[in-house]
Copies of this chain bind each other. A is one copy, B any other.
Amino acid sequence: TRENSGVHATAFAIPLWADLAAIGIGGTQGAMFAAQFRDRRLDLLGVAIIGIVSGFGGGMIRDVLLARLPAALTSNWYLLVAVGGALIGMLLESVLQRLGIVMTVLDALTIGLYCAIGTTKALALGVPAVPAVFVGVLSAVGGSILRDLLLNLPIALMHVGSLYAIAAVVGASTLVALHALGVPIFLAALLCVAVTFGVRVLAVLFRWSLPEQRRIER
């Protein structure tokens, strides 16, 4: 039932430095997030673990679902950068908190990049359009799910919020639609990053959110 079995996309490969920058930012933000829970007595290892899952948890979920060896296990840099990012996030937390908007912008860029990488990787392996969007979204948000599970917190993603995952859904859908229309994969991926970034930043600025669950009353 492979519906895309003809010509496949090639995965959108970004330079290693850009990949590592995204992972470092993810690690830093994970540690800053964990710092809110000082009463939970996280030790240094706990902070490093949060940095690791925030940094490349999404990429690991992506590769496990695609039955591939995770990219993060193919080079020494991923883990070192994620842990380094986490230590910076922990030590400089009070400084970074004042850069709130900068961090939100960097985070939105990171979601967009991971979404584009995940969606194109799935397409390149012959995954059809709808599950390719699913893989792209999980790449973008999987790290935050693992982070919340490990911290024993409600999964932020599940609750009324600022379109974190929806931004990735819109971006990944844009990508597969453009790909289906014959747009070159590199251009489609760039637009995916831009759309994801735009939806996320606008949602934060204008406090957009999805409606809560409701039923048809009678």
For chain A, the count of residues having a C-beta within 8 Å of the partner chain is 77
Q: Which residues on the B side are within 8 Å of A75 (C-beta)?
A: 1, 3, 128, 131
Q: Does A42 contact B (CB under 8 A)?
A: yes
> Which of A16, A160, A165, A215 has most chain B Cβ within 10 Å?
A215
> Is there an interface contact between B129 and A76, defined as CB atoms closer than 8 Å?
yes
Residue of chain B at shortest CB distance from A148: B152
How near does chain B come to A67, taking the closest CB pair, in angstroms? 5
Check if B69 sits within 8 Å of A66, measured CB to CB: yes
Shortest C-beta distance, A176 to chain B (Å), equals: 10
A115–chain B nearest beta-carbon distance, Å: 15
Query: Does A47 make an interface contact (CB < 8 A)?
Result: yes
Question: What separation, in Å, do the CA atoms of A155 and B153 have in the docked complex?
Answer: 11
B68, B92, B151, B209: the one contacting A67 at CB < 8 Å is: B68
From B41, B60, B131, B215, A76 is in contact (CB under 8 Å) with B131
Interface string of A191-218 (1 = CB under 8 A from B): 0000000000000000001111111111
Task: Say yes or no: is A149 at the interface (Cβ < 8 Å to chain B).
Answer: yes
Taken together as a complex, chains A and B put the C-alpha atoms of A47 and B215 apart, in Å, by 12
Known: A149-B149, A152-B154. A216 touches B44 (CB 8 A): no
> Would you list which residues of chain A between 150 and 176 have a CB under 8 Å from chain B?
150-155, 157-161, 165-166, 169
CA of A149 to CA of B16 in the docked complex: distance in angstroms? 33
Measured in the bound complex, the distance between the Cα atoms of B160 and A216 in whole Å is: 34
Whether B1 and A74, one on each chain, are in contact in the complex, defined by CB atoms closer than 8 angstroms, is yes
